[in-house]
A and B are shown apart, each in its own frame.
Chain A
Amino acid sequence: MAPEPFAITEIAEEGRRTLSLSGELDIAAAALLEARVAALCRQHGGEIVLDLGRIAFVDSSGLNAILRMKALCEEDLCDFYLTPGPAPVRRPFDITRLIDRLPFRRSARDDDSDATAG
């Protein structure tokens, strides 16, 4: 069965944009996602949440893209958070220890970060 194509669903709430990701976050998807986050930073500011809950796969290209987006948000004074993905997606975050360096939350609306899952 062919994998689900990468897709971004944007949910707008007051002061927060949640990007719900599905499909596979790899080198092809990373460019699309980074462009979207850069545009959101410029246009809206506030808080940006990447929801990884429906992602099926992430590799080092996806990890590097997430780090670049975090840096971009810091430069543009946006808040940047992630919500955890399913177990196979958590593994690269665990192996690289990025689980400890990235601001994870249990859900997009949590106010407190939770670095227990990736």
Chain B
Amino acid sequence: MIADLMSPELEISLHLDPFAPRAARHHVGLLDRPSPDLRAAVTLLTSELVSHAVQQCDHAPADEVQLRAWMPEDVVRVEIRAPRGSLGWPADDGAHYEVLLLDRLADRWSIDTDEATACMWFEIDRHLDQDAPAP
């Protein structure tokens, strides 16, 4: 997994308030590797991850998350980490548009937990034509 093999190109802490998604989008948008099409998807899904954490922090102790991003040649990976219990799966109680967007735009996404932390992440595979400069 790239998170184990490479240093992230972005690694910051975000205070979990309603402005955290905007800050996350801004920092991810400063990375110059993705094409415009890929950038839009990465920015949107990053906003979804952080917004999910902001909504869940009403019910959990975390007041900040770690945002990390990798953009090697073959994949983009973005993840947020917080104390275990701070990032849970969306409740099965109706339409969750963040899940729909992650399902459709990411090639993979999940929420992993261990004894201490939870990690919500997505990956988008990169293709040569996807990363070509826009005409």
Contacts and interface: CB of A to CB of B under 8 A. Distances in A.
A26 B51 CA distance: 8
18 contacts: A3-B22, A24-B25, A27-B54, A27-B55, A28-B19, A28-B21, A59-B48, A60-B51, A60-B96, A60-B101, A61-B21, A61-B47, A64-B97, A95-B104, A95-B105, A96-B97, A96-B100, A96-B101
Interface of B: 18-19, 21-22, 25-26, 40, 43-44, 47-48, 51, 54-55, 96-98, 100-101, 104-105
Interface of B is mostly: helix
Residue among A60, A91, A92, A98 facing the most chain B CB atoms (10 A cut-off) = A60
Given A59-B44, A60-B48, A91-B40, A27 B97 contact: no
Contacts of B44: 57, 59, 91-92
Contacts of A57: 25, 43-44, 47
Interface of A is mostly: helix
A28 B97 contact: no
Contacts of B40: 88, 91
Interface of A: 2-3, 24, 26-28, 31, 57, 59-61, 63-64, 88, 91-92, 95-96, 98
